[in-house]
Chain A
Amino acid sequence: MRTHTSIAGRRPSGRRHPLATVALITIGLLTTGGAYALLSTSATAESTAASQQSITEGQKVFAANCASCHGLSAMGTDKGPSLYGVGASSVDFQMGTGRMPLAFQGPQGAEKPLQFTQEQIDAVADYIASLAPGPAIPDEKWLKGDGDIALGGQLFRTNCAMCHNVAGAGGALTEGKFAPSLAGVEARHIYEAMETGPQNMPVFSDLNLSPQDKADIISFLKYQQEHSSVGGVDLGGLGPVAEGLFIWIFGLGAIVGVTIWITARPN
């Protein structure tokens, strides 16, 4: 950025360097974006309890962005389900991971860049939570990753691993649906997904996996992602096909190469 402006300054004529406009826009965007980020983070810190103002704000965002599928009163239409009773947790997951609003109707809503600020998401969550009781946004104490890793691993392998892969690498489901990779997913979103069962994932309510169980699973995933595989490079943990392909191409390739070299005539 600095180089752009300095190049523009060196020009004696009145004409601006073609990149000057780009630089100017970048500076402008960074300033407004930075100021906005500052403002929005301070706003999140303030709004912890659902205020009437937040609910009204959420209703506005909802009416403008979500009502075309979920209906103006969130009762659902033939394009989208009713949101009564899904709770703040569900809203925070779906909008907080960018899955909602959907880009298009398809087998599964994909993760994409966030469409809203956390403030707006919280407002919509407050609005949806005010319609009917549902799971709330999880308490921070379950998300710290200090639970029982061994038990968490056992629970993960029993309840989650068949779809999300033992290494949490994700896997395919039917008709274009898939279980996403769990690498780098925030602890809060993992908890919310278990609690609400987004899209075709089953629900693992607190009556099935208690909050402590969920905290253990999160601890296990966190441990697994932070510690490298003891056996060396894990090749994404995708299982025998990926590993077999690797050894067929690189292992056998190396053997063939060395064999050719051994038998080739020297110069």
Chain B
Amino acid sequence: MVQKDGEKAAGSDVATTTPRDVSIGTAVVPSGAFENPGLLPHRPRATDLDPKTEKTAERRVGGLFLFSVVASLFAVVAYVIFPIVPGDMDSVRLNNLFLGVGISLALLAIGLGSIYWAKNLMKGGEWTEPRHPTRGREETRAAAVEVFKLGNEESGFGRRTLIRNSLIGALVVSPLPAVVMFRDLAPAADPVALLRTTLWDKNVRLTRDPSGTPIKASDVTIGSVFHVIPENLEDAEHKLEEKAKAAVLLMRLKPEDLHISPERSDWNYQGIVAYSKICTHVGCPVALAEQHTHHLLCPCHQSQFDISHEAKVIFGPAKRALPQLPITVDSQGYLVARSDFHEPVGPSFWERS
């Protein structure tokens, strides 16, 4: 209903302004300016006019609440009827499904019933609730200033400068431990040193992921793709971090399909090449290998690398070719690394030269 005059609560004054005819700056006379249409005339609801409709609405609300009772009981019954059988994942699904359906229907019915009740049966009518101004009343403001003044006087904050200044100093210094702590979350050592080296080294065998069995050169038939981890990964201290850096994709192409630059002439073994699996864009595993086009596709941002041309970028946001792992075979015919990667694997970082 309309606010009654003379009974204004604190902070309920309405500030009124007369809208400008001419907008500032442009001086164009606004045409078709929005006018407040005011409150729409009250329109009685069907439930206000017709007692039969009112009764129906009442029954509906009651029905929804009773349905909620039924749904709650259903949830309890379902929980008993469909128990979780250890080891049977399907029983977990059924248990969760029916319990969840029961509980959510029960709560939903309470909510829907309440809103329906409020909309159709509770006292109806329209009124405007004006937004109250943000500025406090003069006496409230004066009282606030008085409080501050009194506080200053009684504590002597403005007078005792030693206490005031030392408190300010203590507050300024207090976040310092957090700064030190958060700085220490970053790698303490030089990131270049951390990222430049991987577990690969001279004579480290290439092994299958996840079994860790070594790979003979003769195992790698043409068109094959092996997902490779270094043999010393099992003994590594931070296994996942090391695997994330050292993951390698091993492929065998026909030697005539490989276009090799002279300085990398001994990095492959009879058409078997090994490249870092970590995308140089943002570090997703690049492993979508195509046998005949020799393309490697990164699933995250569609960077494509051409394995027949030393994994150079042929499409997408990556900027650098995938680092190649120089490989050869040992005396027993197993594939081994010649050395570590010659550049840091993975995406670019600030200190990477």
Contacts and interface: CB of A to CB of B under 8 A. Distances in A.
Contacts of B144: none
B255 to A, nearest CB: 17
A228 B93 contact: yes
Interface in B207-258: 208-210, 216, 218-227, 251
Contact of A203 (B96, B97, B209, B221): B221
A254 B260 CA distance: 59
B219 A208 contact: yes
A173 interface: yes
A179 B210 CA distance: 23
A158 B288 contact: no
Interface string B299-313: 100001000000000
Contact of A200 (B210, B221, B293): B293
B123 to A, nearest CB: 13
A262 interface: yes
A232 B97 contact: yes
B349 interface: no
Nearest to B297: A174
Interface string A139-164: 00000000000000011001100110
B45 A158 contact: no
Interface in A170-186: 171, 173-175, 177, 179
A173 B288 contact: yes
Interface in B270-303: 285, 287-293, 295, 297, 299
A179 B289 CA distance: 11
Given A158-B227, A208-B208, A266 B47 contact: yes
A159 B250 CA distance: 12
Interface residues of B, number: 42
Contact of B90 (A179, A207, A227): A227
Contacts of A203: 221-225, 291
Contacts of A163: 287-288
Nearest to B208: A208
Contact of B287 (A162, A177, A261): A162
Nearest to B295: A174
Nearest to A155: B210
Interface in B251-269: 251
A251 to B, nearest CB: 13
B203 interface: no
A115 B329 CA distance: 46
A170 to B, nearest CB: 12
Given A203-B223, A228-B90, A230-B93, A162 B120 contact: no
A21 to B, nearest CB: 49
B287 A200 contact: no
Interface in A182-199: 197, 199
Contacts of B163: none
A262 B115 CA distance: 7
Given A155-B210, A174-B315, A267-B45, A200 B93 contact: no
B89 interface: yes
A265 interface: yes
A266 B120 contact: yes
B119 interface: yes
A205 B221 CA distance: 7
Given A174-B304, A227-B90, A230-B92, A204 B288 contact: no
A201 interface: yes
Nearest to A81: B292
Contacts of A179: 288
Given A163-B287, A173-B297, A202-B251, 13 more contacts: A175-B293, A177-B290, A179-B288, A200-B290, A202-B291, A204-B224, A207-B216, A207-B219, A207-B220, A207-B221, A228-B90, A266-B45, A266-B46
7 contacts: A159-B227, A173-B297, A179-B288, A205-B221, A208-B224, A228-B93, A231-B93
Query: When A and B form their complex, which 5 residue pairs have the shortest distance between CB atoms, in order from nearest?
Result: A202-B225, A207-B219, A200-B290, A203-B223, A162-B287
